[in-house]
Amino acid sequence: MQSDDIIWDVINKNFCSYKTTFNKTKFCRNEYNVTGVCNKVSCPLANSRYATVREEEGVCYLYMKTVERAHTPAKMWEKIKLDANFMNAIEQIDSHLEFWPGHVVHRAKQRYIRITQYLIRMRKMRKQIKRELVPIKKKGERRDKTRESKALVAAQLTTNIKKELLDRLKKGTYASENYFPDKVFEDVIQDIGENDQNLEDEDIEDESEEENQDVEYVSGDEDEEEYEDEEEGEFEYELEDENYDDDDEDDAEFDEDFEEQAPKPKKKGARINIEFEEEAESQTN
């Protein structure tokens, strides 16, 4: 059977894997410890009858250990899920630990209160908007920039090679020999073939448009109307000629009358003013 006093004497005076000291105070790192302090009352190993509260993924559980299950370490702790409501969970603790020592019940309730408090704080922190600091990888950015610049240079080289190859093919510098990569040469030839095909298609379209413009479809009624218009034009032309002759004769007669009526220009010379006096007539009277 388990002897609590013997276990505590060994753990307290000798080595314990859960015991730590900080500022001359002994603490216990066992997950089932209620208070976290290393003493005989709080030690889960040196007490055959022990109760504690633990939290797993936001849910609280009551763990109880009794002497009857000491011979089965795998089933030593009884696990009871507590209600999400605070008051209902407190009632559950009181009901399950009804005949237990008062200090055990009191410490279990204190632990449950602390757990509920930090769960509430966690929920509030999740709702708050926080700024995340993202580290900038300067080496990675520099590496990407160098790769981009090299890729651009390589692309420009290929385009320049294609242009030079096109110029040389057009000039006919190398009729039968090629000193260029096969892939580039094939691509250039394909581009030339496509351009020639496009030019031929455009020429065919232009010729078809010109033919459509030259050909005009006229109905028979329009020919008859044009013939009648021509005859009327000739008849009007003859009448206009006759009227034109009559108008010429009238114009000649009008010019002769105008010349007769028009005053002749006076000769230029010195002007003489003549004055007459009537003295003799006034004396006789």
**Topology of domain 4-127, per CATH?**
Enolase-like; domain 1 (3.30.390)
DSSP 133-154: -PPP-HHHHHHHHHHHHHHHHH
Ordered by start, the domain boundaries in the chain are: 4-127, 162-211
Name the helix (H) or strand (E) containing 64.
strand 59-65
Task: Answer yes or no: is pLDDT of 19 > 50.
Answer: yes
Task: Tell me the pLDDT band of 280, cut-offs 50, 70 and 90.
Answer: low
Q: At what angle do helices 182-214 and 138-171 cross, to 10 degrees?
A: 60
Q: What is the pLDDT of residues 243-273, one digit of tens each?
A: 545 555 555 555 555 455 545 555 555 666 6
Output the average pLDDT for the chain.
Answer: 76
> What's the pLDDT band for 184 if we cut at 50, 70, 90?
low
